[in-house]
Amino acid sequence: MSTLAGKPVEKLTEHEAARELERLAEEIAAHDRAYYQEDRPKISDAEYDALRKRNAAIEARFPRLIRPDSPSHRVGARPSEKFAKVVHAVPMLSLDNAFDDQDVTDFVGRVRRFLGWGDDKPLVFVAEPKIDGLSASLRYENGLFVQGATRGDGTEGEDITANLRTIKDVPLRLAGKAPKIMEVRGEVYMTHANFAALNKRQEKEGKQTYANPRNSAAGSVRQLDPAITAARALNFFAYAWGEASALPADTQWGMLQQFKAWGFQVNPLIRRCETVQAVLKFYREIESRRAGLGYDIDGVVYKVDRLDLQERLGFVSRSPRWAIAHKFPAEQAETVLLKIDIQVGRTGKLTPVARLKPVNVGGVVVENATLHNEDEIARLDAREGDTVIIQRAGDVIPQVVRVIREKRPRSAKPYEMPRKCPICGSHAVREVDEKTGEEEVDRRCTGGLICAAQAVERLKHFVGRDAFDIEGLGGTYIETLYDAGLLKEPSDIFALTRKQAELDRVLREKRAEQSAERRAREGKAAPGSKAKRKDEGESKLIENLITSINNRREIALDRFINALGIRHVGETNARLLARNFHTIGEFMAAMEGKDALEQLNAIGGIGDVVAEAIKDFFDEPHNRKVLAHLLKEVDVRPMAAPKVSGSPVAGKTVVFTGTLEKMTRQEAKARAESLGAKTAGSVSKKTDLVVAGPGAGSKLAEAQKLGVKVIDEATWLKMIEGL
């Protein structure tokens, strides 16, 4: 560091002042980069402010020396918060995928069956390119753009209004007549030309470059400084909508035309298709034009055109029944498999990972690929030293597709999966399924609680984005704190907030160890004065960490359940459980009761395997203990029943039986569930209502025996009319 840095401003000569301003401009810009773009501040706010203050003081003394790139031109400094959260009035969902023609044919068949439509009834689809960017929701009130948000987790996104305003494809005012409230949704993306220009600029300015246009669009839209977003030329295609006080059309096609009339860009390649053959023809045409479009697409989307049919079809968990994404095949490349490593996951699963000679696959450098399990390695006959074909598609982990046998070195030996966990040394076994008597494909470490890898992975899952979402507590911290004995189970994370001194010591030691290693590597001497300044930065980090842990002492029930890491219970099943039991108390009471399995099996969407896994989790005393410890530290917010104001069936258990005339049974059940009812396949004393059509047999009899209320389809429809 320059010795000028410590010299009082009033003692600087003009020449020294110029040098100091140059240094400060550079240093502050570097910290801005670390803070804004890498989300990784290197110094404390106070230190940062001191740099800016010194810069301002020198400029005040020597106004002639103010540089064109002076940090003082950038107003606003650091915003105290990141983006505000926006709750989506209508969730932003994703699409189910089709990978081949058969999947598409099946999709169309499913739609027809759900609607109870024969093969001859005309059914129109709108086919659209699937833009590979990031989705955004733009809210217009009385025709004016008032708020824009990212998709986030689908329920809650980030407020990026200021950034979206800088995109020229986003009209600030809708042309012509517009409903009072209209949320237009679509994709923010970056063209190939703008992507190349941006990366060239970044490189010239010594800044980080982006791997592909999608990351670059995402990075640009999430800039805290809208001026940066503005400089990065983004585009927007409109293709969907959220909350709307009125809809200007009754088809998808009509909506897209209206979007254009309002001033949006709608993809010019969209087409109406009336048959499976027509949608598949569209797919092939778009695929052949893909390289020349000037922006990335990763498939095409088919949507049922009529909105009334879309409404009837509704949703299955996170995706609409009325649409599907037909993905383009993954991109492939050839490289060398250098080594096979084993990773141990949170459930003890041993996953072989291929370490590869770095290779560019469709714009992304790939160095690792999954080999899934030993059966897969055997099937591929993959060996260290082999030349392999790998592929990647979207955000999924790259895979090894096949081995090029002709290029195999003579010395290459068949791979043997270890029989012991590489982390804890416990036996690693393939369990035998009790029912089928077959060996499971995965080999698992039997170390359970003593296996550090499992414990660490569970903790990582616990703090992850879809679970407790604890900012600043990344994988490396967890490993360090686990090794130091400060973290064993989830409740220990919250206990950290009372162990500031220990936390401080452990992280300091770790850092000292790291820099000693680095110095040894680089052959440098011991640290000088810089160390103290860095230490202060560290205290700030610890303070921030404690704040973000404390911020998560209250959590929604579905996130809480997901965080527990119960086998087979991810985001979707956690949500189903939360919706069903509403509070953590009810959930635990039910799981510790005698009819736990019955209760789980009654939940639509929870199958046998999942139900067993949940029951097993609660049968294990250790898990109950961990849970009890955790509940001393956090409050779990109850999950409200789905939005069903005025619904007479909310919370009720309904059974449909016999033939329904106006809709299929599947549709009737879906509709009932959307109104907050639970549906069941059989009648018991917990059933509140039976809807019986002609031909109802034993279920009707059972209902009559138990005195459960029975109504016919017409009465049912009347009951839910207008909801």
Tokens linked to 494: 């919250």
Query: 616 by DSSP, 3-state: which?
Result: helix
Shortest CB 516 distance to ligand IVH, Å: 46
* The pairing of beta strand 323-327 with beta strand 97-98: parallel
Toward ligand IVH, which CB reaches closer, 183 or 187?
A: 187
Query: 106 by DSSP, 3-state: which?
Result: helix
Q: Please name every residue paired with 186 in a beta bridge, in sequence order, or none if there are none.
A: 136, 238
Stretch that binds ligand IVH, among 27-35, 125-133, 537-545, 656-664 (CB under 6 A): 125-133
Shortest CB 221 distance to ligand IVH, Å: 13
- Is residue 325 a contact residue for ligand IVH (CB under 6 A)? yes
Toward ligand IVH, which CB reaches closer, 240 or 634?
A: 240
Q: Is 303 exposed, middle or buried (0-12, 13-18, 19+ CB in 10 A)?
A: buried
Stretch that binds ligand IVH, among 25-33, 317-325, 405-413, 492-500 (CB under 6 A): 317-325
Amino acid identity, residue 573? N
Residues contacting 263, CB < 8 A, separation 6+? 171, 173, 174, 175
Tokens linked to 524: 């440098």
CB 556 within 8 A of CB 637: yes
CA dihedral sign, ordered 715, 718, 719, 723: positive
Out of 31, 88, 130, 699, the residue judged to bind ligand IVH by CB under 6 A = 130
Q: Please name every residue paired with 388 in a beta bridge, in sequence order, or none if there are none.
A: 335, 403
Toward ligand IVH, which CB reaches closer, 309 or 340?
A: 309
Toward ligand IVH, which CB reaches closer, 135 or 480?
A: 135
Toward ligand IVH, which CB reaches closer, 310 or 454?
A: 310
CA-based angle 433:435:438, to the nearest 5?
Answer: 40
Of 465, 459, 440, 483, whose CA–CA distance to 349 is shortest? 440
Q: Which residue is nearest to ligand IVH (CB)?
A: 135
CB 497 within 8 A of CB 551: no
Amino acid identity, residue 7? K
Of 364, 352, 426, 355, whose CA–CA distance to 391 is shortest? 364
What part of residues 294-313 is at the interface with ligand IVH (CB under 6 A)?
A: 301
Shortest CB 333 distance to ligand IVH, Å: 24
Residue 405, φ and ψ in degrees, nearest 5: -60, -40
Toward ligand IVH, which CB reaches closer, 92 or 591?
A: 92
Of 440, 446, 441, whose CA–CA distance to 427 is shortest? 446
- Is residue 239 a contact residue for ligand IVH (CB under 6 A)? yes
Shortest CB 154 distance to ligand IVH, Å: 8
Shortest CB 437 distance to ligand IVH, Å: 39
- Is residue 135 a contact residue for ligand IVH (CB under 6 A)? yes
Shortest CB 505 distance to ligand IVH, Å: 45
695 in the Ramachandran plot: left (φ > 0), alpha (ψ -120 to 50) or beta? left
CB 361 within 8 A of CB 333: yes
Shortest CB 639 distance to ligand IVH, Å: 22
Please give the Cα distance from 600 to 596 (Å, whole number): 6
Toward ligand IVH, which CB reaches closer, 239 or 262?
A: 239
What part of residues 59-118 is at the interface with ligand IVH (CB under 6 A)?
A: 93-95
Toward ligand IVH, which CB reaches closer, 171 or 186?
A: 186
Please give the Cα distance from 675 to 663 (Å, whole number): 16
Report which secondary-structure segment, H or E, holds 182.
strand 181-189
Amino acid identity, residue 721? E
Give the neighbor-by-neighbor strand order of the sheet with 653-657. 678-679, 653-657, 689-692, 709-711
Shortest CB 265 distance to ligand IVH, Å: 12
Shortest CB 264 distance to ligand IVH, Å: 13
Shortest CB 178 distance to ligand IVH, Å: 21
Q: Number of C-alpha atoms within 13 angstroms, CB side, residue 538?
A: 19
Out of 128, 305, 702, 713, the residue judged to bind ligand IVH by CB under 6 A = 128
- Is residue 323 a contact residue for ligand IVH (CB under 6 A)? yes
Shortest CB 150 distance to ligand IVH, Å: 10
Number of residues that bind ligand IVH (CB under 6 A): 14
Residue 412, φ and ψ in degrees, nearest 5: -65, 130
Of 385, 387, 381, 390, whose CA–CA distance to 404 is shortest? 387
Toward ligand IVH, which CB reaches closer, 136 or 626?
A: 136
CB 487 within 8 A of CB 478: yes
Toward ligand IVH, which CB reaches closer, 257 or 387?
A: 257
Stretch that binds ligand IVH, among 75-83, 114-122, 320-328, 643-651 (CB under 6 A): 320-328
Q: Please name every residue paired with 445 in a beta bridge, in sequence order, or none if there are none.
A: 428
Tokens 């060239």 locate to: 200
Of 429, 443, 238, 474, whose CA–CA distance to 352 is shortest? 443
Toward ligand IVH, which CB reaches closer, 392 or 678?
A: 392
Q: How many CB atoms lie within 10 A of CB 448?
A: 15
Catalytically active residues are 130
Shortest CB 456 distance to ligand IVH, Å: 32
Toward ligand IVH, which CB reaches closer, 325 or 692?
A: 325
User: Quick one: how many helices (H) and strands (E) in the chain?
Assistant: 25, 26
Helix, strand and coil in the chain, % to nearest 5: 45, 20, 35
Stretch that binds ligand IVH, among 46-54, 129-137, 542-550, 644-652 (CB under 6 A): 129-137
Report which secondary-structure segment, H or E, holds 239.
strand 235-244
CA dihedral sign, ordered 109, 110, 111, 115: positive
Interacting residues toward ligand IVH by CB under 6 A:
93-95, 128, 130-131, 135, 187, 239-240, 301, 320, 323, 325
